Every structure is written in structure tokens, then in C-alpha cells.
Amino acid sequence: MISNKQQATSNKQQATSNKQQLAELRPFIKWVGGKRQLLPELAKYVPEHFGTYFEPFLGGGAFLLALSPENAVINDFNSELVISWMIVRDKPEELLKQLKQHQLNHSKAYYLHLREADRDGRLENMTLVQRAARFIYMNKTGFNGLWRVNKKGQNNVPFGSYKNPNIADNDTIKTVSRYLNDVNIIITNGDFEKMIETAQTGDFVYFDPPYIPMSATSSFTAYSSDFGYDQQVRLRDVFVKLHQKGVHVMLSNSDVPLIEELYGRIEGIVIEHVSVSRTVGAMASSRKKVGEVIVHGK
């Protein structure tokens, strides 16, 4: 019978081994608010030992891939994103074949035609491989890597006008697929609170929710308008329960006054203030330093 401490040690050793074997794992999609810029800061607060890793707001998965845990449960409420992760794991060759077709046909007119698939009934008739390829193609060629839908769940991101988008990224997709198959990872699609119900003492949960807007008009980091104040409060309550349960918890968000209101008076919780280079505004080339926070237990 393996003890929790032995499992945690094995988990860390295997994670190190995975990193050495796979070199640097990087996301197969672009993601607004992705964590690659924040990785050096996040790394400072990773627990030395942990059991299962949980990530309820997966997105592009930059932190998951950098951490490379042996045991993990990952989740997102974006069903097209979750399908894409599953297909990268299960059918990378079929996916790449579809993406190469998209690359051959790539144009503004083709992008807009494919975008209409969630309006004209084509999406429901697509295979999961086709849906994953559509998602990745639109992510790579839509404006600034944004995935945004209207109240009807229809994508409304404009064409990105990139010169040479890497649509069929063979090496990255195969490398991520190999990692997902070499370790024990459960992929789910649902509410963040439900997916962490099995988290136990010594496990590690990282929350990367849609960020709180920096101002009333700034929402460049969010891809869902459904995650508002009430959801941020519910997330805080879940965070506290996990912390009190002995689970290692960490959260990233915007550096706004609401963070202090939500997390500033919790015993054993620290708020770290960091500065990250982000693309801001209408121009994809416009980057500036923005304030973010990392909230974690002592």
C-alpha cells in the first residue's frame, strides 16, 4: 500500500522525468490571458510535494504543461475547448489531417464560413475530430487568439489577418498528445466547484478563472460574460474550504481592489502582487505591463 507521502514524492519525480523526456511542453492553442508570461512567478509557489493536481479553468493549459504532473484532473466549461484537448490526446493524427485541410483552404472567406457552423446546423453534424479542428483553426486565425461567443453560444470573433498562422502545428500537438497519454489525466467539462469535489488533503488545486475586469470597460482577459461577481464570490468560498481542508490552493487574477476584499482577511492566505506583459486593446501588437495577483496558502 503506497502512502500519500510516497505517492506525492513519486508524482514529483515522475513530473521531473516527464519534463526531461518531453523537453518544454507548450500549449497547442493561443489563449487570451494565458499563463506562459506568468509561469516564473507561479513556479515560486508550487508546493514541494503534492498528490493529484486539479485545474478547473484549463484554457490553453500552459501551467499544466509546465508542471507536467503524473496525476491530474483538468476541466473547462468551454465544451469546444474540452473536445479539442480530448482529441489531441486520443486522435492527433486525424486532427492534424483536418488541420492541414484548413491550412490549405485558409482565407478570410473560409474562416467566416466555418464560423457560421454554429449558426446553420453544421456544428451538430460534425465529428468530434472536425469540431476540434474547427476550434483550433479559429483560435489560430481569429483576432488575437480570442474565443468569444454571444448569448446564443455563437462565435463572433473577427478574422485575425495573420500572414502565416501555424494552423497544423505537428510537433506541438504530437508532443502534448504523448504527454497526455503517458500520465494519468482525467479531462472533464463542467462547473469548477463540482470538478474539485474529490480533492483531498495534500492535493494541489490551481484556479485561473476569467479575470475580474481592470475597469468597467476592460474585459480583454475574459472569454465568458457569465463569470461575474457572484461567481467570483463562490470561487472564493470554494478556495477557502479547500485551504481549510489541507489542500494546496493557488489562484491568479487581476490586481484590483476586489481581490483584497475577497481574499485579504483569510487566515493563512497570502496575496502576491506581480507585473506581467500582456496584449491590451485593439492592436495585437500593443503590449504593456499589467498588474496581476497570485493568491496562495502559506
Instruction: Give the chain's domain count.
Output: 2
Same domain, 293 and 196: yes
The answer to whether 70 and 10 have CB atoms below 8 angstroms apart is yes
In this model, does residue 162 exceed pLDDT 60? yes
Q: Residue 174 in 3-state DSSP?
A: helix
The domain boundary, picked from 110, 139, 170, lies at: 170
- 287 domain residue, yes or no: yes
Q: Please state at what angle helix 79-90 crosses helix 92-105, rounded to 10 degrees.
A: 120
Tell me, letter by letter, the H, E, C secondary structure of 177-210: HHHHHHCEEEEECCCHHHHCCCCCCCCEEEECCC
Same domain, 102 and 127: yes
The secondary structure of the chain in percent helix, strand, coil, rounded to multiples of 5, reads 45, 15, 40
The per-residue pLDDT for range 24-48, each reduced to its tens digit, is 799 999 888 778 889 999 999 999 9
- 40 domain residue, yes or no: yes
- 183 domain residue, yes or no: no
Rounded distance, CA 33 to CA 254, Å?
10
pLDDT of residue 290: 82
Cβ atoms < 10 Å from Cβ of 107: 10
Name the β-bridge partners of 287: 279
Same domain, 27 and 99: no
Contacts of 9 (CB under 8 A, 6+ apart): 49
Q: Which stretch of DSSP H or E encloses residue 94?
A: helix 92-105
- 83 domain residue, yes or no: no
Q: What pTM did the predictor assign? A: 0.86
The per-residue pLDDT for range 107-139, each reduced to its tens digit, is 999 999 999 999 999 999 999 999 999 999 999
Q: Residue 5 in 3-state DSSP?
A: helix
Domain that holds residue 235: 4-77+190-297
- 200 domain residue, yes or no: yes
pLDDT of residue 235: 97
27 grid coordinates: 500549449
Edge-to-edge strands, sheet with 204-207: 184-188, 71-75, 53-55, 204-207, 248-254, 287-297, 269-279
- From 219, 189, 220, 153, select the one nearest 79 (Cα to Cα): 189
Rounded distance, CA 285 to CA 90, Å?
35
Rounded distance, CA 298 to CA 240, Å?
13
Residue recorded with cell 494546496? 248
Read off the pLDDT band of 144 (50, 70, 90). confident
- 27 domain residue, yes or no: yes
Read off the pLDDT band of 278 (50, 70, 90). low
Same domain, 15 and 162: no
**Mean pLDDT (the chain, rounded):** 88
pLDDT of residue 219: 45
Say which CATH number the domain at 150 has: 1.10.1020.10
The per-residue pLDDT for range 34-88, each reduced to its tens digit, is 788 899 999 999 999 999 999 999 999 999 999 999 999 999 999 999 999 999 9
The per-residue pLDDT for range 230-263, each reduced to its tens digit, is 999 999 999 999 999 999 999 999 999 999 999 9
pLDDT of residue 237: 97
